[in-house]
Structure 1
């Protein structure tokens, strides 16, 4: 059984949900009909949404969770309590874990970043962009306290998230970076002078 192409186009031009439209095309339309109807749907989306709305629709459909409205800008978020707690639990257990497992507890899913950087504060936009290769990126809420660091997560050279990291800080050294499969180890080391004894801290496998 075949439905006339003109009738399928009429159905899909109306408020018929895309899922049902695709089902009709799949079962009742030939290849040329499918191509024609999908072109009509795309044209309708452009008219209704406009260029920006269509870009947002494409971003959602491709798995992107954010659309950078208002230009290229990175905002440093407050320290994530879930991530801080995860790091603390790892120290208490004297164990080890992959970094992506730890970061996932902060709501950053695996696969959404490929490098993590840590920068001692204070920092300027110029310094961060020079280190990351993100010329022209503007930054908001950069920490100014020298006791804090900025954790920056990058995917394919673009900043996707940034967090303020307060004491006890857990990151990599300036000029280094970690990857999702970097191991995070709880290690014992001497306390800094003039304190005595030892303290347990986390070390993250890093690269340069």
Structure 2
């Protein structure tokens, strides 16, 4: 129970402190294709982390118990806190900021507050929110546990096999974020780019369900 509770809290906190906050900060300083390009570079950075982390984790596990791997994560979290407090500037324009008292209200902590988008938002906003929600359903954090179970029970992969998959996936993220995605953003319209990536998501997951080879899994 303790491990499960800690895992849930960690996933909630890391989601808000990383994906959500970084995306919000980028939206404050970038827009349009510049925002898309910045997001692409962020994905490449994430891929680099996926490539390096398994090696660091392996060294920690070889020299000590798994508890020290969690301790290392805690240290990284502390470093991030210090960096955000003392180095990271506020990205939101002064005119758009609101007092802390106005932000810390019960209404803002309502987990179903997003439903106001569908009751008070425009038709276009509702459609974009629906599309983004469906896209986020297959985002890495949501698929991670399912992927681990699938690799172990369906594919019969060992820990080393799963590690190799993560490293390969990270390398592809770096390559895509540094070259392929920027190229597509320059040559395609936003609608065409989104349609193409959604199509490849569909094909990739469809192939995953029918094949077990690493080549098809990475697709």
TM-score for the superposition, normalised by structure 2: 0.20
TM-score for the superposition, normalised by structure 1: 0.21
Normalized per residue, the structure richer in helix is 2
Higher-RCO chain (CA-CA 8 Å, sequence separation at least 6): 2
